[in-house]
Amino acid sequence: MSDFFSKYAVLLIVLFLIRVILSIVIASFAKKKGKSFALFFVLTLLFSAVVGILVLLISVSMNNNRVEYEPKSTSADEIRKYKMLLDSGAITQEEYEEKKKQLLGM
């Protein structure tokens, strides 16, 4: 987790400053309406922290559920592999023909 903070320290500081500025702006509007500046400042700051944590948790959850794509090997690919084995002498012609028939479904 400390790697995360060292890697994104500047971004985290900038995001915190944006939260503070946003809280000041919202609290200023509340003060103009006759509400408590401090109350709205704290509530906005806390609310933005909760939203940030939820976004982070959802993002981590989505990254953990990511499925890596592995291209599926086709019959032609398999036949090519067996042809290379035949050419290198690792298998006999009969073994190659038998595997080829099996892969082609004959």
Regarding pTM above 0.95, the answer is no
CA atoms within 13 A on the CB side of 76: 0
Q: How many CB atoms lie within 10 A of CB 10?
A: 8
CB of 100 closer than 8 Å to CB of 77: no
Dump pLDDT digits (tens) for 7-24.
Answer: 777 777 888 899 999 999
For the segment 35-89, what is each residue's pLDDT rounded down to a tens digit?
A: 999 999 999 999 988 888 888 788 777 777 666 666 777 888 889 999 999 999 9
> Residue 30: how many CB atoms within 10 A of its CB?
18
